[in-house]
Amino acid sequence: MAEIATFGAGCFWGVEAAFQRVSGVVDTTVGYSGGETPNPTYKDVCTDETGHAEVVQVTFDPRKVSYEQLLDVFWQAHDPTQVNRQGPDFGTQYRSAIFFHSPEQEAAAKQSRAALEASGKLKRPIATEITPASTFYRAEEYHQKYLQKRGVASCHF
C-alpha cells in the first residue's frame, strides 16, 4: 500500500524532479502546505503572506523505497541551513520543511536531522522545520511535472 510524504525544499519544480528519479516513488504532486490561507493560488503564495510553503507530495511504495531514503533525497536536494530561501528564491514559501504524516515519519525525520547535524557535513545549523502535515493544496496544473514537461533535468542549482 502506498504512503505519502511531504517536503518543502525551495522551488518545488527542482525538488519534484529529484523525487521523480527515485525508484519506488509512485507519483509526485506539487502544491502548497503549512499556511493559513485556504485554497491558495501560486500568486497568493508568492505574496509571502499565506504562510504556505511550496511543497512536493510524494506517493511512494514503502516495499521499494523507505521513508528514510526519501529523507536522504530531501537533504541532498537543497541547503537545509538556509532560512526562508534557496538559491535566488527567498520568502517563507521557500523554507526547508518536512511535514510528517505519522508518528513514525516524525521520529524518522527528527532522527535524520539529528544525524545530519552530528555529521559535521554542514557549516551552519539546520533550519528545517519538522511539523505535522496539514491540508495540502495542489498547485495549478502548469506547475505539475514542470521540468519534465520541458525536457529539463533540474532548476538553476
Give the separation between CA 1 and CA 63, rounded to whole angstroms: 9
Radius of gyration from C-alpha coordinates of the chain:
14
Beta bridge partners of 89: 86
Q: Could you tell me how far CA 35 lies from the centroid of its own chain?
A: 14
Report the chain's terminal Cα–Cα distance, integer Å. 34
Task: Tell me which of 6, 8, 9, 11 is the catalytic residue.
Answer: 11
Are residues 147 and 153 in contact, defined by beta-carbon separation less than 8 angstroms? yes
Which three cell numbers mark 8?
Answer: 518543502
Q: Give catalytic status of residue 155 as yes or no.
A: no
Comparing CA positions, the residue from 81, 80, 79, 59 lying closest to residue 70 is 59
Q: Which residues contact 149 (CB under 8 A, 6 or more apart)?
A: none
Active-site annotation, residues: 11
